[in-house]
Every structure is written in C-alpha cells, then in structure tokens.
Amino acid sequence: MSLHGMLSWLVVKCPWIPVLFLIPCCIIYDTIAFIRFRWASIFHSRDTRRHEERVQHVQEQVREWKKSGSTATMCTARPGYQSITLQTLKYKKSCQKIEINMPDIISIDTEKKTVRVEPMVTIGQLNDYLIGRGWTLPVVPELDDLTIGGLVMGGGIESTSHKYGLFQYICRMYEMVLADGSVVQCSRDHMTDLWVAIPFSYGTLGFLTAVDLDIIPFKKYIKLTYIPVEGLDNVVEVLEKETRDPANDSVEGILYSLNEAVIMTGVFTDECENWRLNKIGRWFKPLFHAHVKQFLKPEDTIPKVEYIPTLHFFHRHDKSCFWLVDYIVPFINHWIFRWFFGWTMPPKHAMIKILKEKFVPPNMLNQFVCQDLAVQFKHLKGLAELSDEMTKVYPIWLCPCNHLLTPEQEKFSMFKWNDLNVDFGVYGFTGVKSYHPVEGQKRFEKYMIDNEGFPALYAETQFTEEEFRQMVNLDTYERLRRELNCEGAFPHLYEKVSKLGRTSI
Ligand SMILES: Cc1cc2nc3c(=O)[nH]c(=O)nc-3n(C[C@H](O)[C@H](O)[C@H](O)COP(=O)(O)OP(=O)(O)OC[C@H]3O[C@@H](n4cnc5c(N)ncnc54)[C@H](O)[C@@H]3O)c2cc1C
C-alpha cells in the first residue's frame, strides 16, 4: 500500500489519530495569528493609511486584470481550504485570484456605536477586541474562524437573529472595489440597492474591502432558560411563542429526535445569581449539546435556569463545531479526554478540510448531510418530518431569524420573506442506507421552493438554473451586474454556488 493509501485509510478509519498529531501545528498557527492580530490592534488601530494602501493594492490588481484583457473571471485569492464551507472550491483554479490581504480592525466609534473592519478579520478576533472595550456585536455567529467578508457575502446567523436579523442587518456600510477598479461605499441611505444586494452575492458584484458594523454594550452574563419540550407540534409552538416574545434576547432550540427538543431562551444581564452560574466554556466542561440534552427528562419538564458568562455562551457550539467534531474525535466528550485535552479543541477547520480534500474519497461522504434550511414556522413541522424520513440525522439546530428591511429596501431583496423564519440546521452522517445525496438534496430543495423557504447557499445545492430563479428574485442583482460591468469580471451567483452551475465555470 502506498503512503497516500495508508494515510487515506487512517483518515477514514481513525480520523482522530492524524487530528491529534496535527493539533500542535494548529496551536502554533493560532498563537502566531493571535500575536499578529494583537500587535496590529495595539500599534496600527486607527491607522487608516494602512487600510487605504491595501485598498489601492486591490484596485491595482483589478486594473491589471482589466488591462490584460483576460477572459478569466476574478475571485479572492484566499485558499479554498480556509473557507468554512465543506465544498471543494474548484472554481478558484480557473479564476484570476485577487489578493485581499485585509485582516485588521480599522477603527471603533463608540459615539456612533460602530466598528469599521477589514473583511479578513475573523468573528472570534473581532469579538475579543470588542469585549475588551466593553462592547460586542448584536449578532455573534458561532465558529471563531468565520470571516466578516464571508459572513457578509455568504450569510450569518445567531440565536439573537430573531431580534437583530441576519448578520447583514448589523452592517451599516460596505466599501467595495468594483470591476473597473473604482471604490464605492454604500449604506442603507446611499446606493441602497447595492447595500441590499451585496449580502448573499458571494463576491460576484465586487471585492469587499471594509464594513461598518453596529456595536452594543457587552453584558457579562446571559440568564439562560432551558425548556424541555415533547411532541413536534409543541416544539414548533413553544419555539414560535418564545421567538415572538420581545423580552428574549436569545432564542434557539436543539431537536434531539422528531419529538424531543430543548428550547433555550436568554436575557443578557450584568447581574448573576452565583449558585446558578455555569462556566460552560472551561476546558473540562461537557460539550454544549450534551449538556443541554441532560434537561430532557420525561419525568421532569420544568424549565431550568442557569447564568452563563456571555463570552462562554458565544463559544458554546464552537468546541465541537455544533456536533461535527464528535464524528472525528468520538471520545471528545469523555471526562478523561476533556480534563487532559479539552483545551486543545476544536481542531482547526482548515486542517480538517485539508485532510478531507487530500485523503477522503468523495464517495465516503455520500452519507454526510450539511444543510441550513430557512422556513416559516408554519412549514417547520413538515420540514422536520421530511428530514426525519430521509436522514434521521440528530441533533438539529433550530435558530429563528428576522428579516429587517423596510418596504423601500425590500424591493431590492433577492428573497421573498413574508414572516419570521427558522434556520433548520442538519449537520451529520445519516444512518439511513437508502439516502442518496443528490436525490435527498433535491427533495429538501423542492420543499423549499414549494414552501417559500430557502437553503443557505454555502452548502452544496443541486438547483437547476430555472429552479434557482424560482427561489430567488435576481432582478436587482442582475441589473447591478450590468450597471457595474460585472459580466465577464465575476462569475454569476448561480455559477458560483450551485453544483450544476459550478461545473460550467
Ligand atoms: C459546518 C458549518 C457551520 C456553520 N455554522 C455557522 C454558524 O453557526 N453561524 C453562521 O452564521 N454561519 C455558519 N455557517 C455558514 C458560514 O457563515 C458561511 O458559509 C460563510 O460564508 C463562511 O464564511 P468564511 O469566512 O468561511 O468565508 P468564505 O467561504 O471564504 O467566503 C464566502 C463567500 O464570500 C466571498 N468573499 C469573502 N470575502 C470576500 C471579499 N472580501 N470580497 C468579495 N467576496 C468575498 C467568497 O468569495 C465566497 O464566495 C456554517 C457553515 C458550515 C460549513
């Protein structure tokens, strides 16, 4: 057997062995990134000249591309393995790569309550920086490695999204380099159509170079109430009731089977009842999804309350990437592992992606499902039943989200959004032998089209172009592409996100 064959066997059969061996590399990488970021935020914050030079560098590259008469479309030079999406980004090979080396926080304005950042800043870095100054973001997506650019262009959500909407709704201003090398800034009141069209455009309208984000005061704790619920109808009812309750700052649910869930509601506070304090982020603590499951007791359905340090709460799903790391390190929640090695988790996403792309045969992942599907409450039950019938993957993440566009802005939006939606996150290997990834995905997608829902586009999609157009309204997007000369400069959105489309780039 060749070395590659042996490594491939090891990665498939015992993925935790290579992962544990590579963890020191991840720690070194993270430490260097941390020192570099701290250095930049201490010595270069408010140094807007550095940012301007970087924008000029992007402009020069775009102008050179234009001058060269190249027929290849442009994309960011960020290697595909660094992107959180589980897709292999093959389109990068045929595109002209533009370096967007922009990893810094530019400035914070506590009067206006905004922070200006470059697109490669990660959500983990930004949140640490803000919390150190007594602030945070209204929406702090899970997984520290997500970048601001990726969250704007590809969408972001958190358990506060029922109140503040998706990540894009906390973005006041976008700065972009366009296909002709010029720079524009758009906001809610200036070039509103572009401001609405940038989110979910996946870098197909221009290169993002800066974003102004809303900030809110940081409160030290969240008072979290765990509500165990039995019966799917009750799950939908309780989740909807709590979502519509304005007193809740945070609402999410974890569905452990078709009939059992724990719905969690939270209120941020500076006060804490010490006897109820649970520092869930300490290295030896159980994984969050396992901790929450303990509240599912048929004989005791009374809601329980805990106070959790807010920073720990923000990272609650990070350690096991919801529940995905459990597949790679099956003993991650064992107390011996937690006490001795819990601090090393999670493994770096980029490392797992490299191992996957180099050593895992594609058919090994046929049983793997990774979908975020947004539906209105009235269609949640049907979606849960469909998912159960096809995949039996559990747990499932339930995260309500709001759509906060005014009617004036709404007319530029890609999505028809009539009411509050719930993100239904299916992540895991299905044990259903008859599950077929393409057919399964198509059934999910048909359910979305028939019920005015939409899947998150970072995952693989099987939409034909016609189906894709049925789901989204591309009028404003395509008008802007014509006006901003994007044709030939950037792939079309459908080409970039869809499996069928990507094969044609
Ligand atoms: C396992 C998993 C778990 C997830 N969990 C969550 C979650 O908890 N919360 C959440 O909100 N989301 C979650 N997501 C979705 C994730 O937020 C999106 O996939 C996001 O787009 C990924 O960001 P990234 O930093 O990896 O960006 P990338 O994947 O690198 O970029 C996304 C897109 O944006 C474009 N882009 C990025 N930067 C720029 C730029 N400067 N200019 C132009 N275009 C640019 C890229 O070309 C690409 O098309 C999850 C995804 C996965 C796979």
Is 414 inside a domain boundary?
no
Which of the listed residues 78, 143, 250, 393 should we mutate to test ligand 1's pocket, taking the one with most ligand atoms within 8 A of CB?
A: 143
Cα(437)–Cα(365) distance, rounded to whole angstroms? 9
Q: What domain range is 111 assigned to?
A: 47-217
Ligand 1 contacts CB of residue 100 (under 6 A): yes
Cα(356)–Cα(502) distance, rounded to whole angstroms? 20
Which is higher by pLDDT, 82 or 306?
A: 306
Residue 264 has a pLDDT of 97
Is 416 inside a domain boundary?
no
Residue 22 has a pLDDT of 77
Residue 99 has a pLDDT of 93
Q: At what angle do helices 380-390 and 232-243 cross, to 10 degrees?
A: 140
Task: Cite the DSSP H helix spans in 230-368.
Answer: 232-243, 288-293, 310-314, 325-328, 335-341, 349-359
Q: In sequence order, what DSSP letters do the residues of 426-441 get, joined into one string?
A: EEEE---TT--HHHHH
Which of the listed residues 458, 484, 486, 490 should we mutate to test ligand 1's pocket, taking the one with most ligand atoms within 8 A of CB?
A: 458
Ligand 1 contacts CB of residue 168 (under 6 A): no
Q: What is the CATH number of the domain that holds 92?
A: 3.30.465.10
Ligand 1 contacts CB of residue 151 (under 6 A): yes
Cα(126)–Cα(209) distance, rounded to whole angstroms? 16
Say how many Å lie between the CA of residue 272 and the centre of ligand 1. 35
Could you tell me the CA-to-CA distances from 424 to 69, 89, 245, 366, 419 in Å, in that order?
44, 24, 20, 20, 15
**pLDDT band, very low/low/confident/very high, at 146 (cuts 50, 70, 90):** very high
Is 374 inside a domain boundary?
no
- Residue of minimum CA distance from atom 49 in ligand 1: 202
Over 90: is that where the pLDDT of 220 sits?
A: yes
Residue 46 has a pLDDT of 61
Is 197 inside a domain boundary?
yes
Cα(268)–Cα(264) distance, rounded to whole angstroms? 13
Q: DSSP label at 175? A: E
Task: Cite the DSSP H helix spans in 108-168.
Answer: 123-131, 148-154, 161-164
Cα(317)–Cα(375) distance, rounded to whole angstroms? 22
Cα(418)–Cα(392) distance, rounded to whole angstroms? 29
Number of domains, the chain: 1
Is 26 inside a domain boundary?
no
Residue 240 has a pLDDT of 97
Is 397 inside a domain boundary?
no
Cα(44)–Cα(107) distance, rounded to whole angstroms? 10
Say how many Å lie between the CA of residue 148 and the centre of ligand 1. 8
Ligand 1 contacts CB of residue 143 (under 6 A): yes
What token pair was written down for 37? 């970021």
Ligand 1 contacts CB of residue 156 (under 6 A): yes
Is 499 inside a domain boundary?
no
Cα(70)–Cα(109) distance, rounded to whole angstroms? 41
Atom number in ligand 1 closest to CA 202: 49
What's the mean pLDDT when you consider all of the chain?
Answer: 89
Is 86 inside a domain boundary?
yes
Ligand 1 contacts CB of residue 150 (under 6 A): yes
Could you tell me the CA-to-CA distances from 268 to 129, 160, 282, 426, 484 in Å, in that order?
19, 11, 20, 28, 43
